Amino acid sequence: MPHLVGDVNVGGHRPHTMPDFYITTAIDYVNGPPHLGHAYEKVLTDVIARVRRMRGDRVYFLTGVDEHGQKVQQSARARGVAPQQFCDEIAAEFRALLPRLDVSNDDFIRTTEARHKRVVCDLLQRLYDKGEIYKAEYRGYYSTRQEQFLQEKDRNPDGTWPELFGEVTEITESNYFFKLSAYQDWLVRFLTENEAFVFPKFRQKQVLEFLKEPLNDLCISRPKERLEWGIPLPFDADFVTYVWFDALTNYYSAVADKEPAIWPATWHVIGKDILVPPHAVYWPIMLKAADIPLPRGIIAHGWWSIRGDKMAKSTGNFVEPNAFVDSYGTDALRYFLMREMVVGQDSDFSETQFQARYNADLANNLGNLLNRTLNMINRFADGVVPAPEGAAEAAAPEAELRALWEETRAAIPAHWDGFQFHLALERTITFVSATNAYIEKRAPWKLGKSSEPADRALLVRTLATMAEALRLAAVLLRPIIPGSVAKIEAALGYTPPETDWAAECEWGTRLSGAKVAESLVLFPRIQATTSAEAAPKK
């Protein structure tokens, strides 16, 4: 399959050799309900997927849950239910969150599904037959909490084990190992030749830094007596597959049977904590050893924290995304996540900051433009967008606004391609602000009271300009706040064409004659509070 990833189909027309774009998120552990960190990753991936679809690419978007392992087994036991039942319940919660966030995934994979287990077994068998997997005795310190063997270098300076490992015991056991170390030189070469494999670039450097130390072979099994809740090894039923080998394979197992082929992935979107070693070391080597093509790359985003501490279920320091959606609406949350976080860096989440951003950008700016546009067109043009009469003078406010639009639309694709969504939004909102400033300048409410023909013509021009500017801003906001944009477009009497994104961005008279809605309040202003309960109910 010719895989033309990275090509930008700016024209929006679908060429015959249409690039396939396959994007994935990490699959979440089901040992607790989703929090805002999980929600962020899904929204970020969704925004990338929506941008590509809007530009004419054929996109496949996968997300899902990671269901095997010690923690799930333990959590299920603690609740007195079978692991599968436990997984079914939590997986349903993760799945239910996606439509609430307006995430447009094409597929949702669970690692307990037959399609996944079969591919994991095929892959293990293939690697075993090739001599890439061997059995060996292993003696070492084992952390049950982290489900991993530890090394001397993991100890605290005083010889104790760091808190995060929980109880550590010395054990000896036979296990199966994957020949990771044999591929170390290859991986270093690969990363050196493919400088942009990991986004952002500084993270790729961290991977190479990690690879300066010799790699150990990877233990890929757990004896059944210690861990039952896993996929049995196809060549030795006394063992189950270790979680990472199982989990990483989801990206491939979800599409292994698809015709026409979807693999290789374009981007794996993950958090920085699971870049090294799982995604940047284990996964490329697993694929290479199995003669499966590698993904185009990995996007490693940062963490959301609260007052400086990482958001995590285990510490109770987290924001529950459903509650936020209940209080503020899906798009308010999506907007904030994309506007506030610089992809690749960390960000602190505070409700005060959320409310300030919401009021400034959505309520007072975009919402205000929408209200004014509908209101003025209803008051002065019988609710129908007028066609502007006569030519606008070159230096007139209309020409200035239009020039700003041309700059804005020209700058946005590069921001999108570089995953700089915060910058794309900043520019878009600057354009919305400029439109509001333009309206202040023209003061259509005054022009409407005048019976002078020149004022009437100017009024018509102003109404047409504000409606057009709002339509255009909405096009750029579509991947970020799709639900609200659909409502804005409906209120403007505008039906966007299916594919021709670039043409949609042309300033013109597409709205002339459109009947607009009487009113639409999308983002009611909120009184600053510190509790989501006091926010307006959507």
Which residues form the interface with ligand MSP (CB under 6 A)? 26-29, 37-38, 40-41, 66, 247-248, 250, 270-271, 273-274, 303-304, 310-312
From the list 427, 397, 383, 375, the residue with the least C-alpha distance to 516 is 383
- Asked if 535 contacts 526 with a C-beta cutoff of 8 angstroms, the reply is yes
| DSSP 8-state symbol, 279 | I
Residue nearest ligand MSP, CB atom distance? 271
> CA–CA separation, 337 vs 347, rounded Å?
9
Name the minimum Å distance from CB 460 to ligand MSP: 49
CB of 280 to ligand MSP, least distance (A): 12
CB 16 within 8 A of CB 56: no
Q: State the nearest-atom distance from the C-beta of 31 to ligand MSP, in Å.
A: 8
Looking at the Cβ atoms of 37 and 367, the one nearer to ligand MSP is 37
Between 289 and 343, CB nearer to ligand MSP: 343
Q: Name the minimum Å distance from CB 303 to ligand MSP.
A: 4
Q: Which residue's CB is nearer to ligand MSP, number 313 or number 456?
A: 313
Give the DSSP letter string of 356-392.
Answer: HHIIIIIIIIIIHHHHHHHHHHHHHHTTBPPPPPSPP
Distance CA 335, CA 358 (A): 8
Q: Given the complex with ligand MSP, which of 20 and 66 has the nearer CB atom? A: 66
Residue 284: how many CA atoms within 13 Å on its side-chain side?
27
Residue pair 291/129 in contact by the 8 Å Cβ criterion: no
Place of tokens 């009184």: 527
Question: What is the smallest separation between the CB atom of 153 and ligand MSP, expressed in angstroms?
Answer: 22
Round to whole Å and give the CA distance between 249 and 416: 28
Count of Cβ atoms closer than 10 Å to residue 12 Cβ: 18
CB of 419 to ligand MSP, least distance (A): 15
- 200 conformational bin, left if phi > 0, alpha if psi -120 to 50, beta if neither: beta
The residue whose two tokens read 């982290």 is 146
Residue closer to ligand MSP (CB basis): 191 or 247: 247
Compute the least distance from the CB of residue 274 to ligand MSP, in Å: 5
CB of 28 to ligand MSP, least distance (A): 4
Q: Shortest Cβ distance from residue 214 to ligand MSP (Å)?
A: 25
- Nearer to ligand MSP by C-beta: 45 or 462? 45
User: For the chain, what's the residue count?
Assistant: 538
28 or 398, CB closer to ligand MSP?
28
Q: Strands, E, within 144-167: which ranges? A: 148-150
Instruction: Quote the least distance from Cβ 277 to ligand MSP, whole Å.
Output: 12
Comparison of 298 and 458: residue with beta carbon closer to ligand MSP:
298
> Among residues 25 and 365, whose Cβ is nearest to ligand MSP?
25
Residue environment code for 253-282, b if the CB has 16+ CB neighbours within 10 A, otherwise e: bbbbeeeeebbbbbbbbbbbebbbbbbbbb
Contacts 24+ apart (CB under 8 A), 256-259: 256/115, 256/119, 257/115, 258/60
CA 19 – CA 223 distance, rounded (Å)? 43
Distance, CA of 319 to CA of 349 (rounded, Å):
9
- 286/473 with CB nearer ligand MSP: 286
Query: In the complex with ligand MSP, which residue's Cβ is closer, 146 or 378?
Result: 146
- Which residue's entry shows tokens 């952002």? 200
Cβ 398 to ligand MSP, closest distance in Å? 43
Give CA–CA dist 347/44, Å, rounded.
14
Element at 412 (helix H, strand E): helix 397-417
| 137 SS3 class | strand
Residue (299 or 412) nearer to ligand MSP, CB: 299
Adjacent-strand bridge partners of 58: 20
How crowded is residue 214: how many other Cβ atoms within 10 Å of its Cβ? 7
Tell me how far, at minimum, the Cβ of 271 lies from ligand MSP, in Å: 2
Q: How far is the CB of 90 from ligand MSP (least distance, A)?
A: 11
CB distance 82 to 228 below 8 Å: no
Q: Which is nearer to ligand MSP, 270 or 477 (CB)?
A: 270
